[in-house]
Structure formats: structure tokens, C-alpha cells
Amino acid sequence: MGMCKTEMRKLIAFGRVKSLGVTALAIGMVAFQAKAEDAENHSNSQEGYECFAPPQAAEPVTHMQWLERGLWASHCYAFQARAVAIDSVGVRTLALSHRIEDGIRQQVVQYLDGPSVSIERRSPVGSLAWTEDNNIDGDLPSPAKWAAHLEKFYTIELEENARVAGRDAVKLDFEPHDQWRFAHEWWLDRDTGLLLKQVLNDRHGQVIETFQITQLQSPEKYTGSLRAYPPNVVLNTSWRATWLPDGFVAQPITFSGDEVEQRVYSDGLATVSVFVEPLSSESAADLQEGVQQLGVSAVAIEHYVTDQGRWQLVAIGELPVETLQRIVSLITFDEHDIEDADQSVSGNDQ
């Protein structure tokens, strides 16, 4: 069965959940196991990080310290909120809920305009981006490594004395080093570190999307500590993405079915999902080749022919159309050496 447009829209909708956390990772694809412990036993914990105390005892000063504090806060605070999202589709009001119980995050987004739609996602507390360093040395992700990875591919600037929804905030500007990704702006709550506002800008400085919390209700800190374990991941596929923007790293994921093979790549801020599925003659027209726009996300679709049949290649992400098109156009099938299919190759700008 081919992936229909309705299913594709579901993927985009789950992507909105990322606004509940600080990173683009929470797009619903990245899995990384973590276990909560009582804070009294934190001295015996394995590699991870603690929720009962922030990464820095004092208020952050530098942009890197605020990045770490923001990521820590996105996993360690339970809260209720009201928010608005503005993009080319229109303006939507949202009710957000972020609960933590026994080390499990429950993220719920409820759309308050039009038909009642509610999106729920559960994930272990502590799901972080995998970076190149993790892939090389085998260490598990950490807020510090995530922040350091981002700084390689974005110029990050800190602005003090901001204010959002009646709360004191700091602003972080992320300007990409190349044309393959968009610029981001974040406003973090000075008291908790939670994300209050996020703006996505194209390469010309035009606003693509604005997400803003209008009311943050009773943020409560989770007092457990986290122990992280490597995920069980299926990595081998009969295909591979031979080009990705510098810094995009394959993320842990298990495939959702026998027919559709999915991979997720992230630079720690932007994320792209790639789907490859066989096409029968009956389903070949399910998704037309070319580019589609689904709200703030773009979709690039190509069909590919091998000796084993026809395939549908789909890349979805909040990235420039040219980036997604190049990713799918450079997917190759390596039927005789699938052990290398889990390796992504970062391309140099041309």
C-alpha cells in the first residue's frame, strides 16, 4: 500500500509537537531510551543528566550555556500552555500539555480552531540528537554535545532583555553557514529556560512560520535523574542517501512497516525524514513526482527504477525545496552491499 497524502499530513502534524521541546528532534521519529531514577540515587547513575539541577548552577551567561539550559528545560519541566502558530496556511490557536511521569514524557497538542484535532506523543525523557561525535566515539548524546554540534553549522548570537507573553526572556539567533537550511530565532524563558517563541526564516529573511506561547501555566520541574541507554535500531537498508547537508546525522529509528523504509537525519535543529517504498503499477500515481508544500514543510518526491522494480522516494522537512530535491535525487540503491546502507555521506557545498 502506498503512502497517501493523508498519511503524509499526519507526519507533518506530528512535526508540530517539536514546539513543546526546544529541539527539532521531537518530530516524532527519534527514539532514545532513558530511565528515571530517584534523585537520591543520582550518584550511581550511568551517563546521562539530572533534572533536579540545571546544567549550570547560576543563570546562563553565554549563548552555549543558554542552549544547554533550553534543552535541559524542554525535558525536565511539566507545564500547560496556550499558543498560536502562524504560517502560510493561517493562524491557529493551540492548547499544549507536557507531562512527565516515571521518566516518560507525554506531549499533547490540541488545535482549538475548526474541527477538534488532538495529537499525542509519548517518549522517554532525555531523547537527544545524535551528533557526529556520538557516531564516531560511541558516546551517548548530551546537551553539551548537541549545543557544540549546532555551533559548527550555525552562527549563534545571544540577545538579552527580551520579553514574551509577559515573561522575561533571552533571544537566540541561528544563522546557517550555507544555503541548505533555514535561519531560526528562539526566545527562551529566563526563569525556566523553556521555549516561548520560535520563528523560522527563509534565506531572504522572510518569515515562514511563527510559533509563540501566549500563556505558560504552572511550569513544574521534574526531580528525577536520567540514565541513558543505546537504542535498539534497525540501520541496514537497501538504499542510502549519498548526499546530505553538512552536519546532518542519521538518527536512531525503527521502521514502521515492512513496505516503507524510513530514515531520519538531523543537524540538531533541522530535521528531514526520508521514505522509500516499492511501487506497484496500481499505486504508482499515489504521489506525483515533484515538490509539494504542506504548511511550513516541503515535500520532494521522485520515482526510481531498479532491476527489482519501481520505488517511490520521499523527503519531508522544514528545509529549502532545493535541499529536499537534491537529497532524493541522490539516493542510490546498493543491493550487493546493504551493510553500508546505514552510512550517510555529508556533501560539500557546490
- The CATH code of the domain that includes 309 is 3.30.200.100
Q: Which amino acid is at 328?
A: V
User: What is the C-alpha to C-alpha distance for residues 82 and 113, in angstroms, rounded to an integer?
Assistant: 13
The C-alpha cell at 11 is 507526519
Task: Indicate if 244 and 192 belong to the same structural domain.
Answer: no
Q: Please tell me the predicted confidence (pLDDT) of residue 95.
A: 95
User: What is the C-alpha to C-alpha distance for residues 52 and 38, in angstroms, rounded to an integer?
Assistant: 10
CA 122 to chain CA mean position, Å: 15
Task: Indicate if 211 and 275 belong to the same structural domain.
Answer: no
Task: Indicate if 89 and 186 belong to the same structural domain.
Answer: yes
Please state the domain count of the chain: 2
The C-alpha cell at 57 is 548552577
Task: Indicate if 120 and 171 belong to the same structural domain.
Answer: yes
Domain boundary among 208, 228, 248: 228
User: What is the C-alpha to C-alpha distance for residues 25 and 31, in angstroms, rounded to an integer?
Assistant: 9
SS3 7: helix
β-strand partners of 216: 81
Task: Indicate if 196 and 78 belong to the same structural domain.
Answer: yes
SS3 188: strand
Q: Please tell me the predicted confidence (pLDDT) of residue 180.
A: 97
- 201-225 exposure pattern, b = at least 16 Cβ within 10 A, e = fewer: beeeeeebbbbbbeebeebeebebb
Residue 288 lies in a domain: yes
Task: Indicate if 60 and 92 belong to the same structural domain.
Answer: yes
Residue 349 lies in a domain: no
User: What is the C-alpha to C-alpha distance for residues 152 and 194, in angstroms, rounded to an integer?
Assistant: 23
Q: Which domain holds residue 179?
A: 5-228
Q: How far is CA 295 from CA 9, 86, 101, 163, 224, in A?
A: 9, 10, 33, 27, 37
Task: Indicate if 221 and 252 belong to the same structural domain.
Answer: no
Residue 347 lies in a domain: no
Q: Please tell me the predicted confidence (pLDDT) of residue 339.
A: 40
- Tell which phi-psi region holds residue 333, choosing left (phi > 0), alpha (psi between -120 and 50) or beta: beta
Task: Indicate if 148 and 41 belong to the same structural domain.
Answer: yes
Residues counted in the chain: 350
CA 12 to chain CA mean position, Å: 11
CB neighbourhood size of 39 (10 A): 16
Task: Indicate if 72 and 208 belong to the same structural domain.
Answer: yes
Domain boundary among 184, 205, 228: 228
Residue 58 lies in a domain: yes
- The CATH code of the domain that includes 135 is 2.50.20.10
Q: What is the pLDDT tens value at each position of the chain, 350 positions in all?
A: 444 544 554 454 444 333 333 333 232 222 333 333 333 333 333 444 567 666 666 789 999 999 989 988 888 899 999 999 998 888 999 999 998 877 777 889 999 998 888 988 877 665 555 666 555 555 556 778 888 899 999 999 999 999 999 999 999 999 999 999 999 999 999 999 999 999 999 989 999 999 999 999 989 988 765 555 555 454 567 888 999 999 998 887 654 455 457 888 999 899 999 998 888 655 445 788 999 888 788 999 999 888 878 889 999 999 999 999 999 999 998 755 434 433 433 444 44
The secondary structure of residue 89, as a DSSP letter, is T
DSSP 29-45: T---EEEEE-GGGGGG-
Residue 346 lies in a domain: no
Digit-coded pLDDT (tens) for 216-232: 998 998 876 555 555 54
Task: Indicate if 224 and 242 belong to the same structural domain.
Answer: no
User: What is the C-alpha to C-alpha distance for residues 209 and 216, in angstroms, rounded to an integer?
Assistant: 20
Q: How far is CA 266 from CA 54, 58, 78, 143, in A?
A: 25, 30, 25, 15
The C-alpha cell at 67 is 542552549
Nearest to 265 by CA among 129, 135, 139, 173: 129
Task: Indicate if 93 and 221 belong to the same structural domain.
Answer: yes
Domain boundary among 201, 228, 255: 228
Task: Indicate if 211 and 247 belong to the same structural domain.
Answer: no
pTM of the model: 0.79
Residue 223 lies in a domain: yes
